C-alpha cells in the first residue's frame, strides 16, 4: 500500500530568536543577545512532521519573494515535501516570529504574519483530494475554503485559539487542541462538533473523544525534555497519519504522544521532529505499546 497523501494548508515562518539575560521592558534595550534563525510556522512544522513519519505531503502556503523564504523552506525541501503549492508573493515578506528568550526561559514573541496573511481563498487549487491538515495561522476564510474543497479526511489543529464558525468544527473529522485552546473554545462546544477530538495535555499525554465520548487516553514515554517547541505539531502530524493508516485509535494516540515526546528531546521545532524509526525506537525502549507497522512495512 502506498503512503497516505496529506495536504497541509498553513503558515510558513522564519523564527528569529535572540537569547538574552533578561527580557527588555517597554522602551528598554538589552544587549548581549545571541541570535539564531529557525524555520517555523505551524503549517510548515506539521507538514514536515507528517513527512518525516512517512506520509507523502504537499504544503499549500504563501511566502515572500525574499531570502527568508529560502531559509524557512529549507528543511521541507530537503526532506521532500511537495512545495509546488507554496508560492511567493511579490508585495508581502515571508512571515517572521521575533522571539526573545531570557536565561530563565521566559519568552516574548511578536509574529508578523506577512505573506501568511495574504494567503487568500483564490490561491487554493480547485480540489483537495488528499487528507487535509489545517491550523489558524492563515486567514480563517482561506482555511474554511480549503476545508470546503477537501473531499477526504479533514484534521484541524485549532491553534492559535481564535474565533471560528461552528460549521468549520462540524466538517472536521478530527479536531486537535491543547489544554489552553480547549479552555478557549470550551470542551462542551468541541465535543458537540462530533467526529474525533484530541486534547493534548503536555507531559501528561492526550485524550481522544469520539462524538463527545472519551474513547482513548495515552501517556507519552518519559523523556528528558529539553525544548517542547514543536511537540504539538509532531502530535498533529503523527495522529493524522496514524489514523489514515487505519491504526486503532488507542495505538494511533500512543504513537502521536510518542512523536510529541520525541520532539521534546531536541532543541527547536523542525530540527527536532522525529523520524518514524525514532518514534518506534522510543516506544519500544520505554516499554509502551508495540508500534503498529502499516501494511507493506516490516
Q: Degrees (nearest 5) of the Cα angle 219, 255, 60? A: 120
Residue 196 touching ligand ADP (CB under 6 A):
no
Residues 11, 14, 17, 23, Cα dihedral to 10°: -50
Q: Reduced to 3 states, what is the DSSP secondary structure of residue 127? A: coil
8 Å CB contact between 121 and 148: no
Residue 96 touching ligand ADP (CB under 6 A):
no
Residue 274 touching ligand ADP (CB under 6 A):
no
Least separation in angstroms between CB 60 and ligand ADP: 21
Residue 161 touching ligand ADP (CB under 6 A):
no
Nine-digit cell string for 85: 503549492
Determine phi and psi for 49, rounding to 5 degrees. -60, -50
Which of 39, 95, 220, 288 is in the footprint of ligand ADP by CB under 6 A?
Answer: 220
- Nearest CA among 62, 219, 232 for reference residue 157: 232
Q: Which residues, including other chains, have CB under 8 Å from residue 287's CB and lie 6 or more apart?
A: none
Find the helix packing angle between 249-264 and 231-244, rounded to 10°: 150
Distance in angstroms (rounded) separating the CA atoms of residues 88 and 66? 8
Annotated catalytic residue 233: yes
Residue 10 touching ligand ADP (CB under 6 A):
no
Least separation in angstroms between CB 182 and ligand ADP: 10
Residue 225 touching ligand ADP (CB under 6 A):
yes
Count of positions on this chain that bind ligand ADP (CB under 6 A): 18
Residue 239 touching ligand ADP (CB under 6 A):
no
Binding segment toward ligand ADP, per CB under 6 A, in 74-82, 165-173, 260-268, 281-289? 260-268
Which of 6, 17, 133, 206 is in the footprint of ligand ADP by CB under 6 A?
Answer: 206
Instruction: Please report, as ranges, the residues that interact with ligand ADP according to CB under 6 A.
Output: 178, 200-203, 205-206, 220, 223, 225, 228, 231-232, 235, 257, 260-261, 264
List the catalytic residues. 233
Amino acid at each position: 500500500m502506498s503512503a497516505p497523501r496529506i495536504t497541509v494548508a498553513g503558515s510558513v515562518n522564519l523564527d528569529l530568536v535572540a537569547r538574552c539575560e533578561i527580557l527588555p521592558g517597554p522602551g528598554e534595550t538589552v544587549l548581549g543577545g545571541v541570535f539564531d534563525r529557525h524555520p517555523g510556522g505551524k503549517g510548515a512544522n506539521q507538514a514536515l512532521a507528517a513527512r518525516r513519519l512517512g506520509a507523502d505531503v504537499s504544503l499549500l502556503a504563501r511566502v515572500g519573494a525574499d531570502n527568508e523564504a529560502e531559509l524557512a523552506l529549507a528543511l521541507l525541501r530537503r526532506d521532500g515535501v511537495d512545495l509546488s503549492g507554496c508560492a511567493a508573493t511579490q508585495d508581502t515578506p515571508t512571515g517572521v516570529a521575533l522571539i526573545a528568550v531570557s536565561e530563565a526561559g521566559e519568552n516574548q514573541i511578536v509574529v508578523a504574519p506577512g505573506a501568511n496573511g495574504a494567503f487568500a481563498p483564490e490561491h487554493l487549487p480547485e480540489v483537495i483530494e488528499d487528507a487535509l491538515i489545517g491550523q489558524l495561522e492563515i486567514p480563517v476564510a482561506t482555511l474554511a475554503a480549503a476545508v470546503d474543497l477537501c473531499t477526504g479526511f479533514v484534521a484541524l489543529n485549532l491553534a492559535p485559539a481564535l474565533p471560528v464558525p461552528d460549521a468549520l468544527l462540524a466538517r472536521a473529522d478530527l479536531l486537535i487542541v491543547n489544554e489552553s485552546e480547549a479552555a478557549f473554545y470550551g470542551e462542551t462546544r468541541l465535543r458537540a462538533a462530533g467526529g474525533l477530538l484530541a486534547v493534548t495535555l503536555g507531559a501528561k499525554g492526550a485524550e481522544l473523544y469520539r462524538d463527545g465520548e472519551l474513547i482513548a487516553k495515552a501517556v507519552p514515554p518519559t523523556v528528558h525534555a529539553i525544548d517542547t517547541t514543536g511537540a504539538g505539531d509532531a502530535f498533529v502530524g503523527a495522529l493524522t497519519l496514524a489514523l489514515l493508516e487505519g491504526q486503532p485509535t488507542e495505538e494511533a494516540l500512543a504513537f502521536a504522544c510518542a512523536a510529541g515526546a520525541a520532539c521534546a528531546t531536541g532543541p527547536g521545532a523542525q530540527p527536532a521532529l522525529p523520524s518514524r524509526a525514532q518514534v518506534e525506537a522510543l516506544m519500544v525502549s520505554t516499554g509502551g505499546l508495540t508500534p503498529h507497522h502499516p501494511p507493506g512495512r516490516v
